[in-house]
Structure 1
Amino acid sequence: MANTAAGATRPWTEHYPPGISWDVPIDTTPVHETILATCARTPDADALDFLGKKTRFGELARLINAFAGALQSELGVKKGTRVALLLPNTPFYVIAYYAVLRIGGIVVNCNPLYTVKELSHIVGNSGAELMVTLDLKLLFDKAEELVDAGHVKKLIVCHFPDALPGLKKLLYSLAKAKDMSKPDKSRIAAKVVHFDKLIDRKLSPTPVAVDAAKDVAVQQYTGGTTGLPKGAMLSHANIAANLSQIDHWALGLFRAPSRTVAVLPFFHIFSMTACLNTPLAAGGQVVMLPRFELKAFLDLMSRTGANILVAVPTLVQALSKAGDKAKPHLVSVEVTVSGGAPLSDEVRHNWSKVSNALLAEGYGLTEASPVVCCAALRVPSKPLSIGQPLPGTDIRFVNIDTGETVPLGERGELQVKGPQVMLGYYNNPEASKDAFMDGWLRTGDVGYVDSDGYVFLVDRIKDLIICSGFNVYPRTIEEAMLHHPAVDEVNVIGVPDEYRGEAPVAFVKLKRDQQVSEAELKKFLAETLNKIEMPKEIIFKEQLPKTLIGKLSKKELREEYAQRKNKHEPA
């Protein structure tokens, strides 16, 4: 069994899928250099497909360089200047992202669905001087308020119809005029610069020396489930390393002529790495959809024949629920990689009914650029595992109370070391210090590694319920409930309990036209759960709150339950 320098074991090195080695050289060439090299090597191949409009690699390089040159010469972007991107998945995002990196700037990703208040924190905290957005009212109105508040000095506005193919561009301009803003007539017109005019200047960027290990490429804000979002500083080397690790792990899967579906938003770290950087660096094509709608997604699949689907469990489940309607559109998919949230056994089973694609679960976190572990992408892995650590990645599990490393098979907090681990949090030394233990990144996830190096997660530390002195894991309860034929979605939280300290409460969404009572569901659960794990209450809801990438969210449920109790209302 292989050993680390610290004496811990690496059982996965002897049980990796065929063709993969743990100690392969990890390439830390800045990602923009890798992308531009791919553009030079295959200029006539299609890089992007946005609703049918294609962009070749050679054209992509021209646009990246032209925008980078204009950012330098016209807008004064220097090494270290932070540029916020308030964009959905469009060619504009791709161009802006690589252009900013090309000249040593720092990308600050912003979720277009965030409120102005949320965006104000991210943009204000990051120190972003410029923002790139669209002239859609939904986005521009928010960006306008950010400028008014002094959070951003100038806006670079992209004309959305320009991203569309000919006829669609014309029809959109006519039919959706009410959805478009008029930046030149806005109250901040003097602070607006147009993307297309910057490109038309055809300015060449001046080379900037980048120290891959030290210079920040992306300042990625975490979800903020506990307090305000923190800006994880990801270096050029962090992002490049994760790209290299995934490429080794995938054994060429993303390379041309592969087509990767990018329906997950690029502003999210998982999609930024898996849907954008990885396929483009490998010369594959990225097929974009600005948001998930079932019909549009299925049409896209039939039109493009995409073979790689990067998804979150809620997307996998939505396609599974479409059944025979979706099945013929998914025949081209060879591999589906699920991440961002735990993939339940029920969702895996449902997916197998609509697709023969290998379904691989990956695991990561913003602070690790993000991928840490992944199931094999060419052969099946152990059921319910998140796979093994990527090449060059070390993991350990430590006792939650003592901090001591636990033996194989025992539960503890997952901690990570590797070239993809962040530099720290921006302007937050205390949080940066708390994020590490003896140089290991603390994930906050509880699980274990078996003798073959396969990793299994149990739950989040902050979601752990201490019930009568026993550890109760919400995921255990959720998995049991999902096996009931009437249950569609479930989310379990811990609530204060006078007798047991804490007790589990389950929020349940039932499948359409299905009914089950609380008593019936508890009777069903009694076959698999012990008395301590049995939910104190089961609350039925028509919808369960989700994060903006589709993960079930406990934060809102905790707040809702607390408000009910404060008002002395029955839950």
Structure 2
Amino acid sequence: AAPGWESLLKMSSTPLPDGSRTCPWYDPDRLPFFNGSPPQSVYQMFLRGHTKNPTGHCIGYRQLQPDASQRGDYVYKTYQETKLLCEQVGHALRSLSINKGDKVGIYSRNNPSWMLTSYGAASQGIVTVPIYDSLGSDAAEYVINHAELSAVFVEEKNLDNLIKLQQKCPTLKHIVVMSMFEIDAAATESNAHITSNNAISFNTFLSLSSNANHPPEPITPDDLFVIMYTSGTTGAPKGVMLKHKAFIDSVGSAEIFFQRHGFTFTSQDSIMSYLPLAHIFAQQCDAFMYSVGGSVSFSQGDPKLINDDLMACKPTVFPGVPRVFARFEEKIQQSIGKSNPVVQLLFNFALWRQSINVESLQNPSDFWNALILSKVKAQILPNVRLVINGSAPLSPKTNDFLKAIFNCPVVQGFGCTETVGGLLCSGLRSKSGSVGGPLPGVYAKLVDVPEMGYVSSACPPQGELWLKAGCITHGYYRNEEATRDALIDGWLATGDIAQWNDDTDFGSLTIIDRKKNLFKLSHGEYVSPERLELEYAKCGLVSQIWVYGN
């Protein structure tokens, strides 16, 4: 009989001859991604979800109430309706002579049309380039010109800024204005502000497909899907090129990982899209949900309304970043602090009792969960069954707090834009503090950084984390120098300092430092400003922070 998960977890992760380690239980012949029939493109991954759930919810948004004072409940497009809209987008792009390999930008907060544009373009082999809607004019101008965008899809609040840039961007020929909340609404059709600036509404754009019939171009996994621009720490933004294969491998690897942990995603699962889709973590999460036929509910784009949106859509899976989770913890503690002394006493005891179980990897107490903790959960994420932290490390204290409150796994991932998000992940029952080990198909090794005192021969082994996998970028767009610096013999040098833990033979990693962006003080001590920024950002009074060493 095949060994169970617990015995697989304890299998030796002996380093390979090159010093790297990989997922010890993964056998690509026995557990191939997508059962041996992987999609050939990101759009085909979406069609996989369509096959699983054609009449089920796909993308959702909140419509304005009749009095236009507030948003109502979520309304959804089915997978079949979404598929037809994506096809319209693809045909409309082709009618504008935008063809396979051409690039279009998306300059907007998350909204349903964002998804339709991205996946509709992908259906025709057209490359999308997200532009952070919070970017200043100089950075937006750089991205448009560097990526040679022929069209930009923009939300109305960014339209004026884009119009000012148009004369400085010779390749930009078309501007399409998206509605944040409506797909079918014709409200923008009569907007003089749009028509006077030679832009068209998303509705008018879709109508271009009515007389167009452009068969989809053949797309291979090695074709380019998206260029994600990262600001980095210095210099101009770098365009990370990600092929369709990178997303396919990322989703396939994560799916097998969760299945081996006994967690299966279904078409009944859902997430809320609120993390910026110009960030790879959000794109990875949404792509995964579409591939299993689950639903994606778009937030209103206002951080102050996140809790209201969460209670309206009640997601079963919640991806987040440390700042979001720290605010959850702060809000819960403030709410409990306003309660009567008996409630405070019961809550603190229940939290203490559950935290002991979490730290010792025991099952949580059903009694304390039913008595009080489930009532707290019901006020934030009543249906959640998986919480995923990414972007930055989550403190063990907050990690254990979330596990106790939500009574579900809280996993910590590690990745970056160059890796299509997470490719290291902690187990569903792992102790807090590590980022776990390599996902299926991922190789990791530590490379000596002697000038900082980190060597892989130490106990525990420490060094710069290098990664190799099918989901890793093949380079930076029009930047050979940066590509040579980051990709060495097929390995991605992350710049993060990590150590292998000896908690189990499986081998997990903890990020302990950063090779780049370090300050050396006058007495010789190295300081990581990112660590300080993370600590200071926990204060509710801090909105943004930057630590500078002089």
Residue 245 of structure 1, CA deviation: 1.1
Alignment of 1:85-484 (within 5 A): 85-134=106-155, 136=156, 138-151=157-170, 152-160=172-180, 162-163=182-183, 182-186=193-197, 189=198, 192-200=199-207, 201-202=209-210, 203-213=212-222, 215-251=223-259, 253-274=264-285, 276-294=286-304, 296-323=305-332, 325=335, 327-329=377-379, 330-352=381-403, 354-376=405-427, 379-401=428-450, 406=457, 409-450=460-501, 451-466=505-520, 472=526, 474=528
1:36–1:297 distance in 2 versus 1, CA, 3 Å: same
Local SS of the residue matching 1:13 = coil
Query: Residues 139 and 419 of structure 1: is their aligned pair in 2 closer, same or farther, counting only changes over 3 Å?
Result: same
Tell me how far 1:405 sits from its aligned partner. 5.4
User: Is 2:544 aligned against 1:557?
Assistant: no
2:164 maps to a residue whose letter is E
Q: Is the 8 A contact 2:462 2:497 kept in 1?
A: yes
1:45 aligns with 2:56: yes
Q: Which residue of 2 aligns with 1:31?
A: 42
TM-score normalized with structure 2 length: 0.78
Partner of 2:339: none
The answer as to 2:530 corresponding to 1:491 is: no
Supply the AA of the counterpart residue of 2:533.
N
Q: Shift of residue 208 of structure 1?
A: 0.8
Identity %: 21
Question: Equivalents in 2 of 1:397, 1:49: separation in Å?
Answer: 43
1:400: Cα distance to partner? 1.4
CA contact (8 A) 2:414 2:424 kept: yes
**Contact 1:65–1:205 (8 Å) recurs in 2:** no
After TM superposition, give the deviation of residue 290 of structure 1 in Å.
3.8
The 2-side partners of 1:112 and 1:181 are apart by 23
1:29 deviation in Å? 2.4
Amino acid at match of 1:319: F
Specify whether residues 11 and 57 from structure 1 end up closer, same or farther in structure 2 by C-alpha distance, changes over 3 A only: closer
Query: What's the offset of the Cα at 1:237?
Result: 0.6
Q: Per the alignment, do residues 327 and 42 of structure 1 end up closer, same or farther by CA in structure 2, a change over 3 Å counting?
A: closer
Letter in 2 for 1:80: G
5+ residue gaps in structure 2? Answer: 1-11, 63-73, 336-375
- Which amino acid is 1:121 matched to? Y
What does residue 545 of structure 1 align with?
544
Report SS of the residue matched to 1:182.
Answer: helix
Shift in alpha-carbon separation, 1:511–1:344, aligned structure 2, 3 A = same
Structure 1 residue 222, shift from structure 2 partner: 1.3
Q: Deviations over 1:498-518 (max 9, x none)?
A: xxxxxxxxx846857xxxxxx
CA contact (8 A) 1:70 1:205 kept: no
Determine which structure has greater relative contact order: mean sequence separation of CA pairs < 8 Å that are 6+ residues apart, divided by chain length.
2
Q: For the aligned residues, what is the CA RMSD?
A: 2.9
TM-score (norm 1): 0.76
Letter in 2 for 1:128: L
Output one character per residue of 1:332-383: Cα deviation in whole Å (capped at 9) or x when no partner: 211110100121223324435643232111110111112220112xx31132
Q: How far apart are the structure 1 equivalents of 2:13 and 2:395?
A: 31
The answer to whether the 8 A contact 2:456-2:462 is kept is no
Match of 2:66 in 1: none
Gaps of 5+ in 1: 15-19, 479-489, 493-506, 513-541, 547-555, 563-571
Partners of 2:227 and 2:240 within 8 A in 1: yes
